[in-house]
Amino acid sequence: MAEAVADMSSTPARNVLDLIGHTPLVAARGFDTGPCELYLKLESQNPGGSIKDRVGLSMIEAAERAGRLEPGATLIEATAGNTGLALALVAARKGYRLQLVIPDKMSQEKIFHLKALGAEVLMTRSDVPKGHPDYYEDRAARLARETPNAFYVSQFTNEANPRAHEETTAPEIWEQMEHRLDAIVCGVGTGGTLTGLSRYFARVAPHVELVLADPQGSALAGRVRTGKVEPTGRGWLVEGIGGDHVPPVCDLSRVRRAFTVSDAESFRSCRELLLQEGILGGTSSGTLLAAALRYCREQSAPRRVVSLVCDSGNKYLSKVYNDYWMLDQGFSTRERFGDLRDLIARRHAEGADVTVAAGETVLAAYGRMKLYDISQLPVMQDGRIVGIVDEEDVLLEVFEHPERFHEPVSRVMASHLVTVPPDAPLPQLLELFRRGLVAIVVHQGEFLGLITRIDVLNWLRRRM
Ligand SMILES: Cc1ncc(COP(=O)(O)O)c(C=O)c1O
């Protein structure tokens, strides 16, 4: 494995697999780190965008060395993301077929990415526990048994997973830190990273402390603190880390400290990482950063600390990097009014809503609805709302006359507007929804924004 990872040099790499590993380490100076120095290893810079490229390569090459992969073999894995991307990257370069079993809660972007890399994606239920035949790992194991010439990669039990980190990630960190390192803050998905780092440093520098960063809801931090695994029954939104059991490949024996980080803190830290350091990390980077900062600040003597940016934030642009998603989820706040204005997701006065001008074409309105995935638009003229146009208006207008796409939107909009003042009672909205309308909130002639059914649902959920 070690020799498979090429040194960064000025000559061209033979192929993209040679670019796996040798990721940069950067000082995080934009944060209050108490007496400590904090460094971040940018695993997001791997060609597949995550730390999992290392294990994708190592698990496939280990299987090749063990004679378990015949030419044209089918690799099968249960994965919700980064390992799938890594395996897809490596499998395609090496001519293997790849089938991935994925829980159906995964983002569309990840699935598009996997398919575009040539992987076959089989969706399974995300609402069933381990042991259920539709649980993603159980289904992948069964598929591997039933498919001829198949190899079940099984990152949770595959020893080549921690070995990748023992042989590449850990020595890279040790060299980059010039052999002056006191602690590493790390998350656990399969535990491959933590176990590999733990084994290497146990041999080379046993004083290096391993610190666990764990999402709130995961049972792993509790296991470090009390020795017991007690599933919480609560989920979390941070992706890639945390679990309700200790995976077979995970060795927590050298971990003495664990920090539990809420989704809210993880997401806010993720945004801070981009603002302060210009690093676009995935959601788990926020968890690791938050834990690393807490660890650093509680030290009384200077220490050199490393943490990881395990994947790129590119995959999460529509979530943690989307202000409206953060608001919808209740992870960020804004001015509160105590009336219907609090339910308007995109306030007009903030320039946050999507509108169309009365003189624009029906085609422009349709394009905007498609782009923003919304089904109606306020029609504006001279700063005032003069109508609403929705998909049905457009469809009925152009169905027999496609040339009407080029007509002004004012021709198709509904101009008889039922508006509500901000202090209207909530049940009034339901009446509008029952009549197939959206709520147009207007105060003293000023348009404040729309409230749709989903806005009310989001608002109710936030208050739960
Ligand atoms: C996105 C992501 N994937 C994976 C991992 C680590 O996974 P594993 O424990 O499987 O090595 C991390 C660790 O922080 C992570 O942030």
Q: How far apart are CA 301 and CA 299, in angstroms?
A: 6
φ, ψ of residue 374 to 5 degrees: the values are: -130, 155
The two tokens of residue 134 are 């539709």
Q: Does domain 2-46+160-316 have CATH number 3.30.460.80?
A: no
For residues 409 and 364, is the Cβ–Cβ distance under 8 A?
yes
Please provide the average confidence, as pLDDT, over all residues in the chain.
93
Structure tokens given for 146: 């039933």
Alpha helices, H only, 177-321: 192-204, 220-226, 263-277, 283-297
Cα(325) to centroid(ligand 1), Å? 24
Please report the atom of ligand 1 found closest to the CA of residue 213: 14
Q: Cα 24 from chain centroid?
A: 22
Q: Which pair of tokens denotes residue 438?
A: 């959206």
Q: Give the pLDDT confidence score for residue 1 in this predicted structure.
A: 46
255, 237, 139: which is closest to 191 by C-alpha?
255
Residue 4 has a pLDDT of 45
| Whether residue 7 has pLDDT greater than 60 | no
Nearest to 189 by CA among 24, 52, 40: 52
Q: What percent of the chain has pLDDT over 90?
A: 79
Q: Best of 23, 43, 52, 79 to mutate for ligand 1, by most ligand atoms within 8 A of CB? A: 52
Q: Quote the strand ranges of 366-437, DSSP E.
A: 376-381, 384-390, 419-420
Backbone angles phi, psi at 333, to 5 degrees: -125, 165
Hey, which of 238, 284, 320 would you mutate to test ligand 1's pocket, going by the most ligand atoms within 8 Å of its Cβ?
A: 284
Domain ranges in the chain are 2-46+160-316, 52-152, 335-462
Q: Which of the four CATH numbers 3.30.70.100, 3.10.580.10, 3.40.50.1820, 3.30.200.20 does domain 335-462 have?
A: 3.10.580.10
DSSP for 148-189, written as a single string: TTEEE--TTT-THHHHHIIIIIHHHHHHHTTT---EEEE--S
For residue range 330-362, list pLDDT tens digits in order. Answer: 898 888 899 999 999 889 998 889 999 999 999
As a whole number, mean pLDDT of residues 217-238 equals: 92
* pLDDT score, position 234: 87
What's the CATH number for 52-152? 3.40.50.1100
Q: Which of 66, 65, 64, 67 is nearest to 95 (CA)?
A: 64
Q: Fold match between 2-46+160-316 and 52-152?
A: yes
How does pLDDT run across 269-311, given as a tens digit for each residue? 999 999 999 999 999 999 999 999 999 999 999 999 999 999 9
Choice among 82-96, 121-135, 253-267 with the minimum mean pLDDT: 121-135
pLDDT of residue 217 exceeding 50, the answer is yes
Confidence at 2, pLDDT banded by 50, 70, 90: very low
Cα distances (Å, whole numbers) of residue 430 to 113, 319, 422, 433, 435: 39, 28, 15, 5, 9
> Where does the pLDDT of residue 463 fall: very low under 50, low under 70, confident under 90, or very high at 90 and above?
confident
